[in-house]
Amino acid sequence: MIKVNERKEITVIDSIMGSGKTQWAIQRMNEANPPEKFIYITPFLDEVDRIKKDVTNRQFVEPNNANDEGRKLRSLKDLIVQGKDIASTHSLFKTADDELIELLTDSGYTIILDEVMDCVASVEVKPSDIRKLERAGDIEINEGKVIWTGDPQDNSRYMDIRLVAQAGNLFYYRGKFLVWAFPPSVFNVVDDVTVMTYLFDGQTQRYYFDLYGFDCNYKAIKQVGERYEITDHVVQNERRKELYALINIYDGKMNDIGESKNALSVTNLKRINKMADLDFMKKIRNNLRNFFDHKVGAKRENVYYSTLKEIEGIIQPKGYKEPKVKKSDRGKRIKPKVVIPHNTRATNEYADKWAMAYIFNRYMKQDIKVFFQDNEVKVNDDLLAVSDLLQWIYRSRIRNGEPVELYLPSSRMRGLLKQWAHYEI
């Protein structure tokens, strides 16, 4: 465990999808005393818009790049200085630096995280570049931590490494892994932190909190009339079987592509892509078209599916390809309508879709897993996988209590979903 001074307790609202987490947050901010200040962090820009629109008793402001630096981070800092209520995205908040931490210190802000953040991430650097930086005296590695010892103003192609290392958030493991960790001080210097998600124990942010010694207080949300209230976190109160009954999972020969435990994992799909196994890609493409077109009779506007990003364009079946964005719509907040990321969550953009295909077998990235394990933090690949899958499924019309059709060829993922439904995971 990495020690952090004066650790705060984190409130985790671990509540099943559709229980009203966002509605509770909106209610909480609408009813808060005027002196309270909030920073609401969400994955998507359209959810930023929702907060700005639905919180009516105070004015939320979104950071922009209309400043001398042309950077949203500068705007975020300026808004904090002004004491504004702020709604922003995960991607911007993850750029937090020492100046932002200083501005947040004793500022009186409450942070509400809508869904977990990627608090730990890989840094794409070749092992040869790491050795080069060591030989040049630009970095030192002390008990796994990367310390920048070179020019403090270095603006070479290694500037990104310098900035993260200088912030004290860069780690090196097993001779090849460079890993970035979000500065934990951010969660210490504010008044209060609430994380809203589901199956938090499977998320990398849970392991990040374990790594830095934060305590988590688990709660849930229940609806009472038109109000949303915080309640005790009791797993058996979740409506798992009811939700699972709405998912009609394909069971047939097209599942052959995912029978082995590691089939359709990142490693497996990257190897297939590298080998240019066009026959396998064609099989996936044909299976997708067969499922959508013949098995469930869905049209393009009814579907979404996910797979490894590198093969998205290869497996897109005829009739179900991504619609092109019109010139007049470029620059607008438009999401893909057919192919979506395998870890999509916290959006209702696809709430009218009812036919889905998950051509993926979710495991934690190996370098991130190694980072936690080397710091004696246990991880649960299976819980992470089923958590991502459930969030992904819930983007569909199932959120409205309507049945959906699902092609889930990975035998491991099907098994995990069934275990979840029976409270075995």
Residue the block writes with tokens 């504004």 = 84
In the sheet where 109-114 sits, what is the strand order? 60-61, 85-89, 37-42, 109-114, 192-197, 9-14, 215-224, 227-232
Q: Which strand (E) or helix (H) includes residue 310? A: none
What number of other Cβ atoms are within 10 A of residue 324's Cβ?
7
Kindly tell me if the per-residue pLDDT of 136 is higher than 50: yes
> What is the average per-residue pLDDT within 44-72?
88
Contacts of 304 (CB under 8 A, 6+ apart): 337, 338, 339, 340, 350, 353, 356, 395, 396
User: By percentage, how much of the chain surpasses pLDDT 90?
Assistant: 63
Please name every residue paired with 303 in a beta bridge, in sequence order, or none if there are none. 355
Instruction: Please tell me the predicted confidence (pLDDT) of residue 335.
Output: 57
Inter-residue contact 360 to 408 (CB < 8 Å): no
- CA 335, distance to chain mean position in Å, is 16
Kindly tell me if the per-residue pLDDT of 333 is higher than 60: no
Nearest to 361 by CA among 342, 339, 337: 342
Question: Does residue 112 or residue 125 have the better pLDDT?
Answer: 112
Residues of the chain with CATH 3.40.50.300: 9-117+188-235
Looking at 147-156, 217-226, 263-272, 289-298, which range is the least confident one?
A: 147-156
Alpha-carbon gap, residue 211 to 173, rounded angstroms: 15
> What is the average per-residue pLDDT within 133-142?
89
> Could you say which architecture CATH assigns to the domain 9-117+188-235?
3-Layer(aba) Sandwich (3.40)
Query: Exposed e or buried b for every residue in 133-142, given b needs 16+ CB within 10 A?
Result: beeeebbeee
Kindly tell me if the per-residue pLDDT of 1 is higher than 50: no
Inter-residue contact 29 to 40 (CB < 8 Å): yes
Q: Could you please report the per-residue DSSP string of 184-230?
A: THHHHHSSEEEEEESSGGGSHHHHHHHHTT-EEEEEEEEEETTEEEE
Alpha-carbon gap, residue 280 to 285, rounded angstroms: 9
Inter-residue contact 179 to 173 (CB < 8 Å): yes
Burial (CB count within 10 angstroms: exposed 0-12, middle 13-18, buried 19+), residue 94: middle
Residue the block writes with tokens 């959120």 = 399
Instruction: Please tell me the predicted confidence (pLDDT) of residue 331.
Output: 55
Alpha-carbon gap, residue 93 to 293, rounded angstroms: 41
Instruction: Please tell me the predicted confidence (pLDDT) of residue 231.
Output: 95
> What is the average per-residue pLDDT within 256-262?
94
> What is the average per-residue pLDDT within 215-230?
95
User: By percentage, how much of the chain surpasses pLDDT 70?
Assistant: 95
Question: Does residue 413 or residue 135 have the better pLDDT?
Answer: 413
> What is the average per-residue pLDDT within 107-120?
92
Nearest to 47 by CA among 196, 242, 243: 196
Nearest to 52 by CA among 82, 83, 96, 89: 89
Cα–Cα separations (whole angstroms), residue 62 to 50, 103, 264, 269, 317: 11, 17, 39, 38, 39
CATH assignment of 240-421, among 3.40.50, 3.10.580, 1.10.8, 1.20.120: 3.40.50
Stated length of the chain: 425
Inter-residue contact 403 to 360 (CB < 8 Å): no
Locate 420 and state its tokens.
Answer: 């979840």
pTM comes to 0.86
What number of other Cβ atoms are within 10 A of residue 318's Cβ?
9
Inter-residue contact 338 to 300 (CB < 8 Å): yes
